[in-house]
Structure 1
Amino acid sequence: MNLNRRLFIGTGLAASALLSAPAVLAQAKPRVVVIGGGAGGATVARYLAKDGQGALDVTLVEANPIYTTCFFSNLYLGGFQSFENLQHGYDKLASGGVNVITDTATAVDRAARTVTLAGGQVLPYDRLVLSPGIDFKDGSVPGWTVADAEIMPHAYKAGPQTQLLKAQIEAMPQGGTFAMVAPPNPYRCPPGPYERISMVAHLLKQTNPTAKILVLDPKDKYSKQALFEEGWQKHYPGMVEWIGPDMGGGAVEVRPATMEVVIDGEAEKVDVCNVIPAQVAGQIAAIAGVTADSGWAPVHPDSMKSKMDENVFVLGDASAQGDMPKSGFSANSQAKVAAMTIRGELLGSKVFPAKYSNTCWSLIAPDDGVKVGASYEPNAEKIASVESFISQTGEDGALRKATYEESLGWYAGITADMFG
Structure 2
Amino acid sequence: MTINRRKFLGATVAASAALSAPMALAAGSGKPRVVVIGGGAGGATAARYIAKDSKGEIDVTLIEPTRTYYTCFFSNLYLGGFKEMDELGHSYGGLAAAGVNVIHDWAIGVDRDSKQVTLAGGAKLTYDKLVLSPGIDFVDNAVAGWDVTAQNAMPHAYKGGSQTELLKAQLAAMPEGGVFAMVAPPNPYRCPPGPYERVSMVAHYLKANNPTAKIIVADPKPKFSKMALFQEGWANNYGGMIDWVGEEFGGGNVEVDPNGMTLSIDGEVVSVDVCNVIPAMKAGKIAEIAGVTQGNWAPVNAADMSSKADADVYVLGDASQQGDMPKSGFSANSQAKVCANAIRGALTGSRVFPAKFSNTCWSLIDTDNGVKVGATYEATDEKIAKVDGFISSTGESSEVRKATYLESEGWYSGITADMFG
Equivalent in the alignment of 1:380: 381
Per the alignment, residue 347 of structure 1 pairs with 348
Instruction: Tell me, yes or no, if the aligned pair for 2:26 and 2:32 is still in contact at 8 Å.
Output: no
Counterpart CA distance in 2 for 1:377 and 1:44 is 19
**Equivalent residue runs for 1:223-234 within 5 Å:** 223-234=225-236
Using the alignment, how far apart are the partners of 1:253 and 1:20 within structure 2?
Answer: 59
* 2:397 aligned partner, one-letter code: D
| In 2, Cα distance between equivalents of 1:156 and 1:20 | 42
CA distance in 1, matches of 2:20, 2:129: 22
Structure 1 length as normaliser, TM-score? 0.98
- Equivalent in 199, 203, 220 of residue 197 of structure 1: 199
Q: Find the counterpart in structure 2 of residue 336 from structure 1.
A: 337
The 8 Å contact of residues 254 and 264 in structure 2, kept in 1 or not, is answered as yes
8 Å CA contact retained: 1:137, 1:280: yes
Displacement of 1:247 in angstroms is 1.0
Distance 1:376 1:120 in 2: 41
104, 107, 110: which is aligned to 1:108? 110
State which of 211, 214, 230 in structure 1 corresponds to 2:213: 211
- Structure 2 residue corresponding to 1:77, chosen from 72, 79, 82: 79
Quote the offset at 1:22 in angstroms: 3.2
Distance 1:358 1:66 in 2: 25
2:55 is equivalent to residue 53 of structure 1: yes
Asked if structure 2 preserves the Cα contact closer than 8 Å seen for 1:20 and 1:52, the reply is: no
Change beyond 3 A, Cα 1:14–1:386: farther
Q: Deviations over 1:323-370 (max 9, x none)?
A: 000000000000000000000000000001100000000000000000
1:36-58 CA distances to partner (integer Å, 9 max, x unpaired)? 00000000000000000000000
Checking the alignment, whether the CA contact within 8 Å between 1:369 and 1:404 is kept in structure 2 is yes
- How far apart, in 2, do the equivalents of 1:26 and 1:250 lie? 56
Task: Find the residue that maps to 2:41 and give its secondary structure.
Answer: coil
Gaps of 5+ in 1: none
What is the one-letter code of the residue matched to 2:303?
D
Contact 1:5–1:417 (Cα < 8 Å) also in 2 = no
Where in structure 2 are the equivalents of 1:57-136 lying within 5 Å? 57-136=59-138
Aligned to 2:324: 323
Alignment of 1:134-283 (within 5 A): 134-283=136-285
Task: Tell me the distance in 1 between the aligned counterparts of 2:25 and 2:120.
Answer: 35
Residues 156 and 279, structure 2, Cα contact 8 Å, conserved in 1: yes
Q: Residues 188 and 317 of structure 1 are in contact (CA less than 8 Å); yes or no, is this contact kept in structure 2?
A: yes
CA RMSD of the aligned region, Å? 1.3
Give the 3-state SS of the residue equivalent to 2:300 in structure 1. strand
Offset of 1:21 from its aligned partner?
A: 3.6
The answer to whether the 8 A contact 1:67-1:87 is kept is: yes
Q: Secondary structure in 2 aligned to 1:308?
A: coil
Q: How far did residue 10 of structure 1 move?
A: 2.0
Shift of 1:2: 4.6
CA contact (8 A) 2:26 2:347 kept: no
Residue deviations 1:374-417 (CA, integer Å, cap 9, x gap): 00001111101101000000000000000000000000000000
Q: 1:134 to 1:320 in 2, by over 3 A?
A: same
SS of the residue 2:190 aligns to: coil
Which residue number in structure 2 is paired with residue 7 of structure 1?
Answer: 8
The answer to whether the 8 Å contact 1:301/1:383 transfers is yes
Give distance in 1, aligned partners of 2:9 and 2:341. Answer: 15
Contact 2:305 2:314 in 1 (8 A): yes
| Matched residue SS, 2:414 | helix
Tell me the residue number matched to 2:399.
398
CA apart distance, 1:138: 1.7
**CA-CA distance at 1:27 after TM superposition:** 2.1
| TM-score (norm. length: structure 2) | 0.98
CA contact (8 A) 1:62 1:103 kept: yes
The answer to whether the Cα contact below 8 Å between 1:356 and 1:375 also exists between their aligned partners in 2 is yes
Q: Show CA shifts across 1:141-161 (max 9, x none).
A: 000011100100000011100
Q: Distance in 2 between matches of 1:246 and 1:361?
A: 28
The alpha-carbon deviation at position 264 of structure 1 amounts to 1.2
**Separation (CA, whole Å) in 1 of partners of 2:99 and 2:7:** 21
| SS class of match (1:373) | strand
Query: Which residue of 2 is the match for residue 284 of structure 1?
Result: 286
Distance 2:160 2:22 in 1: 37
- The 5-angstrom pairing of residues 35-54 of structure 1 reads 35-54=37-56
Aligned pair in 2 of structure 1 residues 13, 175: CA closer, same or farther (>3 Å)? same
CA distance in 2, matches of 1:43, 1:16: 16
Alpha-carbon distance in structure 2 between the residues aligned to 1:375 and 1:151: 40
| Cα distance per residue 1:293-331 (max 9 Å; x no partner) | 2x1000001110000000000000000000000000000
Deviations 1:261-282 (A, max 9, x none): 0111121100000000000000
